[in-house]
Amino acid sequence: MVRLPLEGIRIIDSTYVFALPYAGGLMADLGAEVIKVEGPGRPDVTRTGGYAGAFPENDLGDDWWNRPSTYNLIHRGKRSITLDMTDSRGREMFRDLIKVSDVVMENFTPRVMRSWDLDYPNMKRIKPDIIMVSNTGYGHGDGPYSGYPAQATTQEATHGHCWITGYKDQGPAKAGASFVDFLSTWTAMFAIGSALRYRNKTGQGQWADIGMYQAGVMFMSEYIMDAQVNGREGGRIGNRHPYRAPQGCYPALGKDQWITLSVGDDEGWAGICGLMGKPELAINPGKFFPTCFPGRKTMIESMKLSKNGLWASTAMN
């Protein structure tokens, strides 16, 4: 039987909502024993309310708090325990768990673990080779935002992603999915894998201090560089792209048939023309996209395609 890569690793998952809970579920898939810790007065929000999702057979059941689809998706494969961390006995049991675990994940604001004497320096006193992963909005530094709570939606506004999301004639918007949560998911998994490798080599644990702001701002790198180097301020262009054309969601032949295209080079455009039975259009793409090909600076493809008798017209921009 194939051994999974994280078999024999025990992870305490004292996290909520999506970012690190999902990391815990994925690491359970990889063989880790993951123990989900919740407080009696603060169940995970994916058990209740709008985050809960659907219920099997639309039946709440007698134990409805254990049945939401979102909760079971994210926390699949985990064990579960309830500890009252406001009580010294609950904190002592948490310390007992640390003694027999490899990794602790938490996503409280920085003051919380310190107030329980469970920050990384104190954890090392309990178990010197423990690996700790913290996920906050802005990290555990001494910056003015460090103590602020945060979630992916607010992060999109803070690091500027909302400014470039939406339509040109409308205000800033959030992305369709709260992607910053999942940037933290992958960052945490990579950090834990790296820390386990480091521990295997040195016998020492590590602390990964993940700030969601730092993870999210990576997606703004080209806009930041463009502003710094060229003095240009990025803006909203809907579903179009600064240098890819054609790009959009178009109606295809047949009722309610759609196709999404994003062409990044002349070779891709030639392939699209061939599929449409219009190979001659690939000979001089500049005829249809004078500023997009080869430079692709603007996105006027739908009008030009329609005028030349093609079956595509822009449905969503």
The ranges assigned to domains in the chain are 10-218, 247-307
Alpha-carbon dihedral sign for residues 189, 192, 196, 197? positive
CA gap 64, 60 in Å, rounded: 5
CA gap 263, 251 in Å, rounded: 17
Catalytic residue among 44, 87, 181, 266: 181
Would you write out the chain's pLDDT as a tens digit for each of its 317 residues? 788 999 999 999 999 988 899 999 999 999 999 999 999 888 888 888 777 777 777 777 777 777 778 888 889 999 999 999 999 999 999 999 999 999 999 999 899 999 999 999 999 999 999 999 999 988 888 888 888 888 888 888 888 888 888 888 899 988 888 888 889 999 999 999 999 999 999 999 999 999 988 888 888 888 888 888 888 888 888 888 877 888 888 888 888 899 888 988 888 888 988 988 888 887 765 555 554 444 343 334 554 555 555 544 344 43
95 CB-near residues (< 8 Å, 6+ apart): 118, 126
pLDDT at 152: 82
pLDDT at 304: 55
Alpha-carbon dihedral sign for residues 60, 66, 70, 72? negative
- Residue 103 phi/psi, 5-degree rounding, is -140, 140
CA gap 228, 218 in Å, rounded: 15
7 CB-near residues (< 8 Å, 6+ apart): 31, 32
CA gap 169, 167 in Å, rounded: 6
Q: Judge contact between 249 and 316, C-beta under 8 A.
A: yes
The DSSP letter of residue 284 is: -
Tokens standing for 45?
């929000």
CA gap 311, 308 in Å, rounded: 9
CA 117 remoteness from chain centre:
30
Radius of gyration of the CA atoms of the chain, in A: 25
**Both ends of the chain: CA-CA distance in Å?**
50
Tokens standing for 278?
């219009």
CA gap 253, 239 in Å, rounded: 22
134 three-class SS: strand
Q: Judge contact between 22 and 73, C-beta under 8 A.
A: no
Q: Is 117 a catalytic residue?
A: no
β-pairing verdict for 79-82 and 207-211: unpaired
Q: Judge contact between 244 and 262, C-beta under 8 A.
A: yes
Q: Nearest 5 degrees, angle CA 307-CA 263-CA 159?
A: 115
Strands (E), 33-170: 33-38, 79-82, 103-106, 131-136
pLDDT at 272: 86
pLDDT at 296: 41
- Residue 252 phi/psi, 5-degree rounding, is -105, 180
Which pLDDT tens digit goes with each residue over 17-64?
888 999 999 999 999 999 999 998 888 888 887 777 777 777 777 777
CA gap 81, 37 in Å, rounded: 5
0.95 exceeded by pTM: no
CATH number for the region 10-218 comes to 3.40.50.10540
